[in-house]
Structure 1
């Protein structure tokens, strides 16, 4: 495990010592060991592992690793790199990928064939960036390492900048730099002196392709998959910590971990608000600790800690630190910084591995509601009517409500939806601070894939496959995770995004998830008897950062000062609607209750807009 970088000089020149130093420094982070380097003429690989291994056996993996065939491997992977190299020597790259599970990004140089291969896992929780020009190939798990190389141009891609700010996930291979691409998740890139071939090696499964005889068989198979994945996730030096929110996904992580740990104890943490929160609604609650506490009370093997703000500082509140570490705007640094007290608590407990329940709602705990438009398209109206009536009975709403929301909504033209909801002339207007003049200049409305982007504005999609693909392909969030590890020294593991989980739950028929008017039915059945009844029957969603308005209000004077400074940046003025941001800062809500209905504007549009403007001004000053 650990970050890596490498380069291949296609002009045949030996790799320069200064470039090796730059790449090694670009891989720096909290509690990271010195770089280890392999080089041979025009090719070099650099790896930096954690100073203290995350998993048993990792200390023996002194990367770069060289196989009997002469192949040289660097990998950021869990489980480790040695199994990848062993399989590579026996079966080749295709054979490795076919059987490889867990989260990984790797690069392998095969000198006998003069071939470089780069690959990422299907869920993409390890990043991998790539530059290719006439004279140079360079790659790294950290964007920062590539930005340090003088031979790589740093021109910004304006369309990718806009996509980043409007949260468009439809072109995952692009970064905000014209000369740097991503190796997309689930893809492999094969590079030779003659060219580059990028191909998909793993695809999302299609629902309904896996059948069982009965529900008991489904549930038993599901537990086996979860247990197998959890055994890998629990491999750690020192105690493992799990997030506990009281929701279905985090509760599944905790109960499965307890089952596999046996007599060993599990640390569980819940981030609690530090200030006033708006009142709970029929859809959301803002403090997850009561549900987490009830869950912990059921299981004596849990050591549960509610975590509040600690006054510490690892640089999480400094926007420039995020820009420097990540090489791009993070967009969500205010959100991510809220969790840093958790990481500092873990360090005090000697824990460096955190289990999270992300990605569960697309597969493991899928709602199943996309079954309804599929039944509509398939003219299976009798079954559709049965599901609508069952939902109405169970949720206390009319069948017409669910027909309109779940069946008709995915087919509603996006322009109609925007007008009906009063969200402005463009689908991104309600949550993005892009300057309208800039969007016209780059013709954003013509390049946007509205068929996929409709999901960003809660427009739904009639295809389960497309809906799941959209949920999975947020590359910007993956980029931030790499930066987060560098800043905290913690390894975040997402068991519910493991390939084995995605393949099993993603292949099940949709009626496993929508059953008798109950959404997320399979997850509820699996958890019954293991968690509080309130959790199993819960229909509302926990909201992280429930105290967001309190924290944003404290930062308001600094944001006003930042905005005044940013007005001197021509690039920031061109891309960002600074006047709109000024209006939000000038007309501040009176309290948390008044702010919550405008959360989209203040917590997302305002903070992301200022972050992007600050990044653009920073890049502009660096170029000058």
Structure 2
């Protein structure tokens, strides 16, 4: 993994503009703690912070291809020798330069194919494969890549920049167009470090922040865009032009059930085996649910076949959660008993990371979450606990495999199977976030009524929903049920999953931990997306195909366990601590968030009984108010609700 930054400006020379790019790269140190590299051409500056995972000695970046521009793709590829930290910049005969973040899991096959075309490799890194693939195949090279990636590639021959993001948007990449080019980075903080860009959030930006609907391409800060999943952005003297190279497409599914289940298993086995390739310690994230248990079991099996292992696994838990667990509408059982059963079943070397309320409420960690996220959120402990889990995991491993996204791919959430939620004329997950059609307390409950009215989140969500539906293609003979469930799956794979992937990436990379997501392999996503809903639920349960595909690897209790999402602490002391912080904030006459709040409603929430489930009335609203205040204090952000 890594952090990338860059600046292209066709209106001036950047050969002496080292300070802005160095400052941008410095914000990415958490993503790349192992090395820094910078490179400058006449109109381009690239920066890179490296987390060494493959070819620890040979993968330095930005990586350059040198040679005679008229000699085709055979230029010599070198590391960041044009300028390293404290060095001098020389463009020389650079024909292409790459600042790259991610992993390409089929890089070995691509390297052999490129060797057959006459390419000679100086490193064993996937970075060099990506650069040479571009030199060989041009813009079409990205369609050959299997993996998670986000990168900027400067073509010195054509004087243009390509910004490329993987098909599912596992790795982030943002850009800010300007009059003569663009500034880009892995995270908004990298762009906001540029001296010519201000941190402004206007009305639409705040709507995007609060609506719990991640609009593809929207960057929340004014002028900031995010490269969409499956998109390539071309930047040259003619401007900035996004171009889609991949999207979910409709194909008729012709396999029978037995073949479909077998294909899912074969795909998963291949995906996990590929994603185990690394030159650093690796582990899995285990929750005791079907998804993470399947990944852990497949990883354990693959390691044994290759003479390795045992697989190492980690789980997050809270003090007293198992002993005092209370079922709620989303979680019927605690995780820990299932985690331990799976770990014993597959022979994993397992560690529980057990957190208490003091850690979850600690201002230092909550500030760390904000800094990693660049934006506030209402999910509080569900971010802080993930942040702390990844911090602990990083002490033992550099790479982790996660079960994230299986619910979006296979239809695992409860609302996939709730007719009222499915048939509602909105995003199905709103049935949980705003039950009964009420405005969700996490968004408007504590806000000033005039501000809530200005935001008009219902209208914003509705427009986003219509836009998403308009993107969905259908087979001509799909019946009504199959049509609607294709739409529901599409909404999750293009909108909902982005929230979770972004959370996973920011919280893990804050500690230099690379988290891989096998269920986001585009081959699996495409195959299952085009499998009829009736087949996805052939046993009248959620995730029928996945359960059937991996049942032989897991304990029966896990195979039969109901979906349980990422845990939230049930300690009543946590909500009491939140309310204490809110009361302290209100007593502070300088608290910047106070003008945005409804004082009367805040007092009412402070005086209501504590609800410990994590989704009760008031808790998420308090989380949001505190997060907004911390954001306004810590970030040089200006709110512009009047469009100014």
TM-score band by shorter chain is 0.7 to 0.9
The change in CA–CA distance for 1:335 and 1:506 in structure 2 (over 3 A counts) is: same
Q: 1:469 aligns with which of 490, 497, 513?
A: 490
Matches within 5 A, 1:204-353: 204-206=248-250, 209-212=252-255, 214-262=256-304, 263=307, 264-275=309-320, 277-280=324-327, 284-300=331-347, 302-309=348-355, 317-348=364-395, 350-353=396-399
Matches within 5 A, 1:472-551: 472=493, 473-474=495-496, 475-541=498-564, 544-547=567-570, 549-551=572-574
Q: Does the 8 A contact of 1:153 with 1:179 survive in 2?
A: no
**Structure 2 Cα separation of the partners of residues 500 and 535 of structure 1:** 26
Q: Identify the range of structure 1 (271-280 vs 95-104) with the bigger mean alpha-carbon deviation.
A: 271-280
Aligned to 1:585: 606
Which is helix-richer, 1 or 2? 1
Q: CA deviation at 1:164?
A: 1.1
Q: Secondary structure at the match of 1:89?
A: helix
Matches within 5 A, 1:15-414: 15=15, 16-29=17-30, 32-50=33-51, 53-55=52-54, 57-68=55-66, 69=73, 70-79=95-104, 80-93=126-139, 95-169=140-214, 171-206=215-250, 209-212=252-255, 214-262=256-304, 263=307, 264-275=309-320, 277-280=324-327, 284-300=331-347, 302-309=348-355, 317-348=364-395, 350-364=396-410, 366=412, 405-406=418-419, 409-412=421-424
Q: CA deviation at 1:495?
A: 0.9
The change in CA–CA distance for 1:353 and 1:314 in structure 2 (over 3 A counts) is: farther
Q: CA deviation at 1:328?
A: 2.3
Q: CA deviation at 1:366?
A: 4.7
Aligned to 1:449: 462
Unaligned runs of 5+ in 2: 67-72, 74-94, 105-125, 469-480, 640-644
Residue deviations 1:202-239, cap 9 Å, x none? 11243x62322x33322322222112211222123343
Residue deviations 1:292-332, cap 9 Å, x none? 222222223x1122221288799884444444444322443
Q: Secondary structure at the match of 1:599?
A: coil
Q: CA deviation at 1:283?
A: 5.6
Q: CA deviation at 1:461?
A: 11
Q: Does 1:611 align with 2:611?
A: no
Q: Identify the range of structure 1 (336-345 vs 192-201) with the bigger mean alpha-carbon deviation.
A: 336-345
The change in CA–CA distance for 1:146 and 1:409 in structure 2 (over 3 A counts) is: closer
Q: 1:595 aligns with which of 612, 629, 632?
A: 612
Aligned to 1:387: none
Q: CA deviation at 1:516?
A: 4.2
Q: CA deviation at 1:39?
A: 0.5
Q: Does the 8 A contact of 2:100 with 2:151 survive in 1?
A: yes
Q: Secondary structure at the match of 2:588?
A: helix
Unaligned runs of 5+ in 1: 371-401
Q: 1:557 aligns with which of 555, 580, 584?
A: 580
**Structure 2 Cα separation of the partners of residues 428 and 199 of structure 1:** 36
Q: CA deviation at 1:63?
A: 1.2
Q: CA deviation at 1:446?
A: 3.9
The change in CA–CA distance for 1:511 and 1:577 in structure 2 (over 3 A counts) is: same
Q: Does the 8 A contact of 1:245 with 1:542 survive in 2?
A: no
Q: Identify the range of structure 1 (77-86 vs 477-486) with the bigger mean alpha-carbon deviation.
A: 477-486
The change in CA–CA distance for 1:541 and 1:328 in structure 2 (over 3 A counts) is: closer
Q: Does the 8 A contact of 2:294 with 2:553 survive in 1?
A: no
Q: Identify the range of structure 1 (133-142 vs 536-545) with the bigger mean alpha-carbon deviation.
A: 536-545
Aligned to 2:5: 5
**Structure 2 Cα separation of the partners of residues 132 and 282 of structure 1:** 44
**Structure 2 Cα separation of the partners of residues 14 and 82 of structure 1:** 25
The change in CA–CA distance for 1:567 and 1:426 in structure 2 (over 3 A counts) is: farther
TM-score, L = length of structure 2: 0.79
Across the aligned residues of Structure 1 and Structure 2, the Cα RMSD in angstroms comes to 3.5
**Structure 2 Cα separation of the partners of residues 497 and 166 of structure 1:** 24
Q: Secondary structure at the match of 1:185?
A: coil
Q: CA deviation at 1:555?
A: 4.2
Q: Secondary structure at the match of 2:515?
A: strand
**Structure 1 Cα separation of the partners of residues 534 and 241 of structure 2:** 39
**Structure 2 Cα separation of the partners of residues 578 and 172 of structure 1:** 34
Q: CA deviation at 1:136?
A: 4.2
Q: CA deviation at 1:246?
A: 1.8
Aligned to 1:388: none
The count of aligned residue pairs is 569
Q: CA deviation at 1:45?
A: 0.5
Residue deviations 1:265-316, cap 9 Å, x none? 111122222135442358623520111222222223x112222128879988
**Structure 2 Cα separation of the partners of residues 462 and 601 of structure 1:** 35
Q: CA deviation at 1:559?
A: 3.1
**Structure 2 Cα separation of the partners of residues 145 and 281 of structure 1:** 40
